[in-house]
Structure 1
Amino acid sequence: MRTTVSARGPATADEAWERYADLDRWRGWAPQITAVRAPARRLEPGLRGTVHAVGVVRVPFEVLAVDEAARTWSWRVRVGPLHLVLHHDVEPDDGGSRTRLVTEGPALVVAPYTPIAFVALHALVAPPAGRS
């Protein structure tokens, strides 16, 4: 199964990208994430680690590609025996930004994850803290 979700918001494309690129910021825009464990704190190809979701689910990941200039990145996550590949991008949009996520994998995982991703993407492009 393949799904695409997107969101537009007032955060600049640079700000939204930094929220992706800095693993320490993931908890701030992805409500399902409680921690990210990895040997580096910034996205880079080949980076492996574990995302902790809702405190109890541990999801191993590997970053497949990162293009900082184009603000794109892809990664593979494992949910039990199943694998998903997620492709992300951010671009400027009317004074703010637009982000898109394409998720590929078994419908059993992709279908329930899509609405969670939709909420997270809207938070990713929301105004920076302290600004409305």
Structure 2
Amino acid sequence: MALELGGSRVSLERTPDGRRLLVRHDVDASVDTVWEVLTDTDCWPDWGPSVSAVEISDRHITAETTGRVRVAGAVWLPFEVTACAPYRWTWNVARLPATGHFVEDRAGGSVVGFEIPPLATGYAPVCARACRRIATLAQQRES
């Protein structure tokens, strides 16, 4: 069963990390362009409603990337990317499993999405907003 939230679809599904709440949003941009937006830490404050800054040694994340992310405009939290393969990455923030991020191909564009641990379902509206921002950024890059 899927629900609609701010133009995004929300459903409970099995992922490589177990059951997660998935927030998906259609994007009129290529998979590669959306992936670039998701993995470019310079873009995170532009699309992440809770992220105001990132400290990292390399601009683009890879598997095992570590750094710090500033949330709520003031608190710095350490993070580690736990998996990063083409079109899907996951991370731990403050040593806790956080959202997964993915891009899927679709006719005429792509789908961007987040995987949310079941105990963090209240974060779905934030992820829906992030999906809309990612779509806008990716579409701007391609125009």
5 Å-filtered alignment, 1:71-82, equals 71-78=87-94
Q: Which gives a bigger RCO, structure 1 or 2 (Cα 8 Å, sep 6+)?
A: 1
Contact 2:66 2:80 in 1 (8 A): yes
8 Å CA contact retained: 1:12, 1:125: no
Q: How many residues align?
A: 123
- For 1:18 and 1:85, the matched residues in 2 are separated by 20
Shift in Å at residue 11 of structure 1? 2.3
Higher relative strand content = 2
Contact persistence 1:60–1:77 (CA under 8 A): yes
> Shift in Å at residue 129 of structure 1?
5.7
Q: Please, what is the CA RMSD of the aligned residues?
A: 2.2
Counterpart code for 2:123: Y
SS in 1 for 2:54: strand
What residue number does 2:128 align with?
A: 118
For 1:87 and 1:32, how far apart are their aligned partners in 2?
15
* Alpha-carbon shift at residue 130 of structure 1 (Å): 8.7
State the alpha-carbon separation in 2 of the partners of residues 96 and 18 from structure 1: 14
Give, in whole Å, the separation in 1 of the partners of 2:29 and 2:92.
Answer: 26
Q: CA deviation at 1:4?
A: 1.5
Structure 1 gaps of 5+ residues are none
Matching residue's letter, 2:89: W
Q: Percent identity?
A: 28
CA contact (8 A) 1:97 1:125 kept: no
Q: Are 2:46 and 1:28 equivalent residues in the alignment?
A: yes
Which structure 2 residue ranges, 5 or more long, are not aligned? Answer: 1-18
8 Å CA contact 1:23, 1:36 repeated in 2: yes
Bigger mean CA offset, 84-93 vs 114-123: 84-93
1:95 aligns with 2:108: yes
Pair 1:45–1:129, CA change in 2 (3 A): closer
Give secondary structure in 2 for the equivalent of 1:86.
strand
Q: Within 2, Cα distance between the matches of 1:112 and 1:36?
A: 23
